[in-house]
Amino acid sequence: MNQNSIDKMTEIIKFVLLLVFGILLMMPFIWMVSVGFDRTANITMPFPPRLIPEEVASFNYGIVFENGRLIQSYINSGIVTVFSVSLQVGASLLAGYAFSKGDFKFKRLLFILVLCTLMIPMEPRLIPLYTLFNSFNLLNTFWPLILPTVINGLLIFLCKQFFDQLPTTLREAAQIDGASEFRIFFKVYLPLAGPIAATMVILSFIWSWNDFMWPLVVLNNQELHTVPLYLASFSLENGTSLGGLTMALATVSILPIVVLYLFLQRYIIQSIALSGGVKGGNKWVIR
């Protein structure tokens, strides 16, 4: 067996293994969609689980799209997510560029402090954040869901690493032409940051759309509930009954994330390729 045959066989084995693992990872999602189309699941959940329902019907999804509370929760989640993603990605791009190309006092110390925020989970911050927003009478509004997300240590770190890979000579040439720092960022570096921006958008969107614990703490008004809060309240009200309707609701709730990823996956792959394809390797340093 020559080398070409061995390489071809290796590629086939890799493809089969990836296909098998991909199908296994997709099984829960496929089952969730299938149960949503199973009208009998509202009476009793099928056991053992089956991927193809005995009676395929769009009954559950019809009820979902006629549900006023779900539509309102979609609007609420949409408002929070759009503002959170926009502010978070914009602030992270500016901060990442400053830490990468900027030259100012205490840059290293400030960047270390930003990285330290990654080691603080949300739970210890709940009471201080709640007290802070309560003192400003901002509870039961969307502001507590938007403002704390503006500064994200992980996204700033990703941006800095991305801008580190771009040549500093671009900035120096623009400075020679008399461009200001903001003009350099918006006209030179920002157009090159599409891949990392797409990656941050999908990450930020997932975090904001799926956030449950913090909205549960600050939102007591059902009219302001986001999609995760509505799904939780629906499950508590109905228990194990209406399983088909619950799965239909869960399927519809993740559709925005799936659609967004399908639109941005090309840029995300480019970002990963850039991170791994730099000459000499990608060095993670604090400068």
- What pLDDT tens digit does each residue of the chain (287 aa) get? 567 777 788 888 888 998 999 888 888 888 888 888 777 666 666 666 667 777 777 777 887 777 778 888 889 999 999 999 999 999 999 999 999 888 888 888 999 998 888 888 888 888 999 999 999 999 999 999 999 989 898 999 989 988 988 888 888 888 888 888 888 889 888 888 888 888 888 889 989 998 988 999 998 888 888 988 888 887 766 655 677 777 888 888 888 888 888 887 777 666 665 554 444 444 444 44
pLDDT of residue 45: 67
How far is Cα 201 from Cα 207, in angstroms, rounded to an integer?
10
Amino acid identity of residue 212, one-letter, is F
Q: Of 40, 66, 92, which residue sits at a domain end? A: 66
**Within 13 A of 146's CA, how many CA atoms are on the CB side?**
18
Please check whether residues 272 and 172 belong to one and the same domain.
yes
286 in any annotated domain: no
pLDDT of residue 42: 64
| Distances from the Cα of 105 to the Cα of 154, 200, 236, angstroms | 22, 27, 53
285 in any annotated domain: no
Helical residues (DSSP H) of 68-122, grouped into ranges: 68-101, 107-116
125 DSSP assignment: G
175 in any annotated domain: yes
Q: Of 14, 47, 66, which residue sits at a domain end? A: 66
Task: Give the count of domains, the chain.
Answer: 2
pLDDT of residue 281: 42
How far is Cα 5 from Cα 63, in angstroms, rounded to an integer?
55
Please check whether residues 117 and 177 belong to one and the same domain.
yes
Please check whether residues 32 and 92 belong to one and the same domain.
no
How far is Cα 160 from Cα 189, in angstroms, rounded to an integer?
12
Please check whether residues 141 and 151 belong to one and the same domain.
yes
CA angle 215, 247, 141 (to 5 degrees): 15
43 in any annotated domain: yes
Please check whether residues 239 and 264 belong to one and the same domain.
yes
CA angle 82, 159, 260 (to 5 degrees): 35
Please check whether residues 209 and 271 belong to one and the same domain.
yes
Please check whether residues 72 and 143 belong to one and the same domain.
yes
Please list, in sequence order, all residues whose beta carbon lies within 8 angstroms of the beta carbon of residue 139, skipping any fewer than 6 positions away: 130, 133, 218, 220
CB-CB neighbours of 146 under 10 Å: 20
pLDDT of residue 92: 93
Please list, in sequence order, all residues whose beta carbon lies within 8 angstroms of the beta carbon of residue 103, skipping any fewer than 6 positions away: none
283 in any annotated domain: no
Please check whether residues 208 and 223 belong to one and the same domain.
yes
Please check whether residues 120 and 218 belong to one and the same domain.
yes
pLDDT of residue 275: 53
Q: Find the domain containing 115 and state its range.
A: 67-276
| Distances from the Cα of 98 to the Cα of 3, 126, 167, angstroms | 50, 30, 14
Please check whether residues 35 and 129 belong to one and the same domain.
no
Please list, in sequence order, all residues whose beta carbon lies within 8 angstroms of the beta carbon of residue 117, skipping any fewer than 6 positions away: 151, 153
Please check whether residues 127 and 248 belong to one and the same domain.
yes
271 in any annotated domain: yes
